[in-house]
Structure 1
Amino acid sequence: MNKLEELLKDWVLDDKALEAQREIFARVPVSRHHEMDLRHKLSDFIEKSPKKPDKLFEALSLPVDRIKVDSISGSGFKRSFERGGKRFTRPEFVAKDFYEAQGYKVSWSEGVAFGMALDAILYELADRLKGHFRVIPGRIYTDAEIEEIRNGQSVAKDRIIELNEREKNRPTMLESGGKDAAQVLSLAFHALLSGNKCTELFEETINKHLGYDCSLSELQSIFFKTLTEVTISEPSNVLTRWLPVLDELKKDGFRDKWNYTEWSIAFAKELLDEFPRKSFHEHILKTKGFNSQRFDLSLFDHKSGEIRFVEVKLDDTFTKMQINDLEESIHTGLNIGIAVIEAP
């Protein structure tokens, strides 16, 4: 029994949650009912738990660090914090200093720097494995059908046009390798990492979109051998060539929102250059994918190889998006915690 199962073993869903659960269970294979049951129980557990972030983490048996400051002045975004003779303009900077004093390397980028390092590994992996797959053509809508959708289902039209274009481009994307191939192969990689669920996931979804010229067990062996090479054996310059270049990021309307900055790129490169690559390998195996998240701080311990993600709170509660991130982080086994900045 894992930590999540232990936490939820006696949790009983209410009638409303049970009805939603039955509805979803009717659409998934029996072998995945247990996973769905855990997801619904966790959502229900969080819904009924205290709303204060630190109390919620305590209810979930997750670590809480309480960081006392000497003083807080100002209000809103103009607040400043004094701690240990230092002045900070954001609560995240207080927490960053707190963890750096413990020997951690800390990225304040809502998971972006770590995600970029993982992406570099994913793109290199896809580039090497693209030749083992072929695209099975999917449904492509004609212009007349798209126009019919446009007239009859305006909500769905943009999505169907987007999927249509993606379907047309999939063979070229796979052949291109790198980032494009990773988009085509990401679900297959997740399935290959899913252990005894791998065959089921391939039969349900992957085989409809991708073909391969060997047995599934042989494909798994090739995948894990290549993953080991990429995450552990390769010199860092093989991976850092995949990091996004700044000029491209400047064209991205979400650049500032998602913390794509010169500093994040530099930190991602530093991780690939200096952080124990075995830790990336273990992270991918543990979470069954290239999982990152949007918690405020990413913590890295060079000596132990620990990877940890921390949300920083002062007097605000979790947003719905943050609750979703929290649930997904628990399910994927990420090492997460919370830092609460406390007034004197």
Structure 2
Amino acid sequence: MHTIPGHHHISMLTKNAQSNNQFYQHVLGLRRVKKTVNQDDPSMYHLFYGDLTGSAGTELSFFEMPRAGSTVRGTNAITGIGLLVPSYESLVFWKKRFESLAVQHGELTSYAGRDALHFEDSEGLRMILLNNNGEAVPGNWSAWEDSVVESQHRILGMGTVEMTVRNLESLASTLTDLFGYVEASRSGTEAVYQSVAGQSFGEIAVKEEEGPSEKPGKGSIHHLAIRVRNEDELRYWDEVVKNRGFRSTGIVDRFYFHSLYFRESNGILFEIATDGPGFTADSTVEELGKALDLPPFLEDRRTEIEAKLVPLD
């Protein structure tokens, strides 16, 4: 039986790679595990942050688009990213850290049944720190010991991802009937779905909301990638998605993983991505994220590509 073991990564838009790099490494304490380019448009950086090796389920990914305008918030969009931290004390730590570093944030509250702290990066990307409360995390996650954040409060990986749509039922049907997510809770026009029952590392919170669709810009979320273990499973899901009536891109070789993309009926873009080969396919663990890595099919264009990029520390 094929199942979805959790989130794989989530991809956003940034206007400035330098400030993005500063925030996610030096404020959030994540490791930059890959400095590469958008394979569909190599003129822009594609940066990945995560744990020691950028394990599936820990990856935050950013495309740099220097001409990006501001996001006009609306519905039919991915509207929030949950990040798991070890404890309630960790939320207190992060609230104080955000205050000292002038990061926009809210008060300690709750979200999707967990203690929570809402915050935004400098481009308005909406994120939520969530208390993991000592619960188990995927076995493939591995802490980065050189983080600027002390070990007992470090971000563990991705938790609940929020989606806001006009039609909750159609997204709910895609998640439950197509992918086997379970409905963990529902209250009025909001519901929570889990790919692994009782676990937040594969959780999606859905809100139904009328109004105009979001217009993407800096700080908007481009797509959510969900995990599969290998290419055999990916081929299975490609057929399932097509049989459901969605238009699949077919399987794409991203070198670090294989994936496919499709939009559900509200317009939310999903990627389905394999766990491997991973970011160590062309780098040692120690050297991850330092040099500009290019997949083999772009290597012969390195000089051209590097000439168009602003150097990034």
Question: TM bucket by the smaller chain?
Answer: under 0.3
Structure having the higher strand fraction is 2
* TM score, norm. by length of structure 1: 0.26
Structure having the higher helix fraction is 1
